[in-house]
Amino acid sequence: MKISPPPAVTVVVIGFDDVSHVADAVRSALAQGPAVTEVIAVDDCSTDGSGALLHELATHERRLTVVHREHNSGGCGTPRNDGLARASSPYVMFLDSDDELPPGAVDALLGAARRHGAEVAAGLCVRRELPSGRETPWQPELYAEPSVVTHPARRRRLVHDTLCVNKLYRTDFLRGHGIRFPDGRFVYEDFVFTARVLAAGPRMALVPDPVYVWHVRRSADRLSLSLDRARIDNWQARLDAHRTAVDILLGAEQKRLARAARAHFLDHSLRMYARELDLRDPEYRTEWWTRTRTYLKTFDTADFELAPAPGRVVGRIVQATEEPCDLPRVKELAARPARLLPPYAYAPDGTPAWSAELPQVTLDHLLHRPVHLLPVAVEGELRPGPRGTRLSLVMHELYGRVADAGPRMMDVELVDRECGGVVQRRTAAVTAQPEQQWAATVPLDLSALGRAGTWDIRIRLHFADGSHRDTTAHAVNRPDLLRRVAVPSRRHGVLLAQPYATHSGALALRTAPGLRGVVSVVRRRAGRLLH
């Protein structure tokens, strides 16, 4: 029989104008059981009735305390600090009003903290896309198995997990080291708080259990601060938070952690924003480029060398020019997985280089990089038609590495973006083409798709030397290829199919089956024309 730990945890829930979700968040904390001594809900001066709803919940639950702020703080840090100041339990956790704690989260973290005498216990956060419900683990490599880290410097990857909400903290540890969140409107306050925690050198217990569900609502009327990336202010806030976090680590003489944080910036933040640059206007791009160059001047060679190659190269390109350049190719290299599109240039000394214009950005690492990590470029053309759907794929040579490996087969998977399930698999032989290219053609049965949806195309390249590379296809950007086509369907009579390019340039597919789907698409198009 499982015995729950004695009461020991305060859960601080923060919210602003989130009346639709805050009650679910609070209930998920209370449902953790007797280990939760109190839940402190801090309402950041909401105007939508959130405060009244919390007050009503508190009349029926003695463990719930509601704190009403008189002035909106503009961010997440101040209300969390308010809750932390009032926490009376030996341990504390943080929860946002639009997220939730899964069953057993507190017991898993509290048990690990006590068992190993840890000041901090951390577990797996799951990003749940809504409304689809598709889940993606956050930093799963850190939480693959139970472990104890006696000092954060012994596991530099800890700087990758900048979240504060998937962790349990000993309250006296935070207070004893004066660890707080930045006050006011400070976006990415987690970066700074987490750096302060790591700089204090806690003993940490890591558990593989899911302990936090991060709800991602990309279609919400008001995006979360971290998802609202369309303005340059958001990028500047990220730069400021990251710079502050690195300074904190350096101030605590945690140079290895600071270097790991900079390398992670290149691999994560830089790549994420770089692949969205073509969505922004020219003014944004110029300003982004200038501010990024300024920040990258604080990095040294060792910071770059520690970063995975795609982010390192993107950073070098930004450093090498004063104005945005070659953005279509930069976007593809910043994608996950990375794709290096032609042309393939050489520096004067024969070293592979980014371009003839930027020979100083060398790519010599490609000459010895393992095949399964090469940014091989595959271009895809998806042609839905009344006699069937054909996916044509062309793979480019990459400084002799593809030919050396010997391409043989391509596996193609059609993946339901909503649930992540594979709905079709096909395999085709690769044939050599002129100009150092290899081609494969794969038939797809779109008529078998059972509903309207979005479908990603994943590819596995097989080589004669036994290696393989998982990638996606670059969408050839031609109007005749990226257009909506009506095709016959055995199940629905008719199916609207539209190949399109994702934000990172990958080929994907949208479908709307049946007469109802056709009418829906026509109405949406008419609505856009009217507005």
- Where in the chain are all domains bearing CATH 3.90.550.10? 9-216
Burial 63-98 (b: 16+ CB within 10 A, else e): bbbbbebeebbbbbbbbbbbbbeebebbbbbbbbbb
Report the half-sphere exposure of 103 (CA within 13 A, side-chain side).
Answer: 0
Using CA atoms, how far apart are residues 77 and 184, in angstroms rounded to an integer? Answer: 7
Residue 344 main-chain phi, psi, to 5 deg: -105, 110
Supply the DSSP symbol for 148.
E
Using CA atoms, how far apart are residues 309 and 113, in angstroms rounded to an integer? Answer: 36
Over residues 317-334, mean pLDDT: 96
Tokens 């956790």 sit on residue: 93
Distances (CA, A) of 4 to 111, 198, 276, 508: 9, 29, 46, 47
pLDDT tens digit sequence for 146-187: 999 999 999 999 999 999 999 999 999 999 999 999 999 999
Distances (CA, A) of 431 to 61, 351, 406: 68, 29, 11
**Is residue 3 very low, low, confident or very high in pLDDT (cuts 50, 70, 90)?**
low
Average model confidence (pLDDT) across the chain? 92
The total number of residues shown for the chain amounts to 531
CATH architecture of 9-216: Alpha-Beta Complex (3.90)
pLDDT tens digit sequence for 115-132: 999 999 999 999 988 888
Residue 192, pLDDT score: 98
Instruction: Lowest mean pLDDT of 20-29, 315-324, 337-346, 415-424, name the range.
Output: 415-424
Please answer whether residues 374 and 399 qualify as being in contact, where contact means their C-beta atoms are separated by less than 8 angstroms: no
Name the nearest CA neighbour of 303 among 196, 192, 151, 156. Answer: 156
Using CA atoms, how far apart are residues 146 and 400, in angstroms rounded to an integer? Answer: 43
Statement: residue 393 has pLDDT above 90? yes
pLDDT tens digit sequence for 483-528: 898 887 777 778 899 999 998 999 999 999 876 655 555 554 544 4
Tokens 């080589």 sit on residue: 463
Residue 531, pLDDT score: 45
Supply the DSSP symbol for 265.
I
Residue 291 neighbours by CB under 8 Å, 6+ apart? 232, 235, 236, 239
Name the nearest CA neighbour of 154 among 256, 14, 34. Answer: 256
Q: Does domain 373-530 correspond to CATH entry 2.60.40?
A: yes
Residue 485, pLDDT score: 87
Using CA atoms, how far apart are residues 476 and 499, in angstroms rounded to an integer? Answer: 10
Q: How much of the chain, in percent, has pLDDT values that exceed 90?
A: 82
Please answer whether residues 401 and 374 qualify as being in contact, where contact means their C-beta atoms are separated by less than 8 angstroms: yes
pLDDT tens digit sequence for 228-247: 788 999 999 999 999 999 99
Exposed/middle/buried for 253, CB within 10 Å: 0-12, 13-18, 19+?
exposed
Using CA atoms, how far apart are residues 440 and 411, in angstroms rounded to an integer? Answer: 10
Over residues 79-94, mean pLDDT: 97
- Where in the chain are all domains bearing CATH 2.60.40? 373-530
